[in-house]
Amino acid sequence: MSRLLLICATLCATVFWVTLAGVPLKNFYRFGKDHGDKRTDPAAKPDRIDLEPPFRIFNKLRDYLYVYHNGWIEFAGGYLMPFRFVPEKSWWSMGPAYYRQSTEEVDLDKARKEIGSAFPAFQDIDLKWVVVGTWNQTGNTEHPNALNTFQAILTTDGVRSFVIYNYNQIKRIEKDTWAGCTLTHAADVHTYTITGSSTSDMLTIDQRSNVNRPGKWIFRIDLPKIYEPSSLCPKPPQPVNGFCKSNEYTSDSEARCGCNSGFSPTSLDTLALKCQLVPNSTYNWLGNIPVCWSLAQGDSQNSTTTQTTENSTTNVSKPSHSTNICPKVTCPPPPIPQNAVCEEKAYVPGSSANCSCQPHHHLKNPGSAFYCSFANDGCLYWRGEVPICALNPDP
């Protein structure tokens, strides 16, 4: 059988002894026999875990996996995901390894919140299952005081796949440690490395993070390349009385925009936004966000309309104009960013939108500028970087 190798861990050289503190055990996903886990047996092959829906890795579907005592997860077809910190299997002779597949809401909700906090576009993701692998106090009998504790969580909604790593206590690790993900099958090779690989920075892997929580790492791994949280756009902002929609949130993806029935965009509006890298090294939607005017005649009356998003319904006051109006004095109410509330008032050119995140959310891009400005056609638009409000992680 051909061998495919998926490495999402560490390859090594000279051993260093370190004591690090990462994700507290109380913040781990539940593990142990009291929670329905099975314990691996070093002398026997573990039970097969069937995956329905299948788990997609690098755009390849896998419908079962095994969790091994020595720190490996093996998928159908020979994919291997090792979390070992040293190459010799003999090192993994102490400490229990637990595993389970769960569809319990307590586990799905925890994964949903963590993914939603890392990737705001997926705050409402409908996860189907989680597989939790936990290596607790694992190491070598020759060094009983140098044990490592870590956890891997795999989950999917049937289309998108994610992996969450929790590193708790790493007491023995290696100089020049490599960390990342590599998929190898004949000439088909995919590689992704974590920042700091093959440097002394890897000695602090459980003090670092790509989600601002020491020891925690989250990746999206179903596409042909791996994505970290900072490399995907949030959901597009929603114009008042209009919409912007996208099926994907990767770099250069487009969100198609339009106006609701009974409303029309300013004649020269650009009806598409593009996911682009912005100055704070994250991705956001850029472009002129459509301004949707009422088709009803008259420009002196105000009307109250209802703006509905996936998360809230808000009454907003807007001027009633005839179609193809080009605003030149003030901007209409700003588009509503995902999980945010913006002050409803007239904004003069150059003024910034006064927006705040809804309860239980935080601003991921502080300092971003979202403002009322003239475009090349002489009309006023909302431009700049839309605020990104992400779900707060569990404390």
Q: Label the pairing between strands 283-286 and 292-294.
A: unpaired
Torsion of CA 111, 112, 115, 117, to 10 degrees: -120
pLDDT at 291 over 80: no
Q: Which residues contact 357 (CB under 8 A, 6 or more apart)?
A: 339, 340, 341, 363, 387, 389
Task: Give residue 48's pLDDT.
Answer: 92
Q: Give the integer Cα–Cα distance in Å for 215 and 335.
A: 36
Joined tokens for residue 12: 């090594």
SS3 50: strand
The runs of H, that is alpha helices, within the chain are 105-118
Quote the mean pLDDT of the chain: 76
pLDDT tens sequence across 9-38: 433 333 444 444 689 999 999 999 999 999
- Per-residue burial over 234-266, b = 16 or more CB atoms within 10 Å of its CB, e = otherwise: bbbbbbbbbbbebeebeeebbbebbbeeebbbb
SS3 233: coil
Q: Out of 112-126, 217-231, 285-299, which region has the weakest mean confidence (pLDDT)?
A: 285-299
Arithmetic mean of pLDDT, 50-72: 87
Contact between 358 and 311 (Cβ < 8 Å) = yes
Query: Residue 176, Cβ neighbours under 10 Å: how many?
Result: 14
Confidence of residue 194 (pLDDT cuts 50, 70, 90): low
> What residue spans define the domains of the chain?
5-230, 233-391
Nearest alpha carbon to residue 287 among 276, 298, 279, 297 = 276
Provide φ and ψ at 161, rounded to 5°: -125, 145
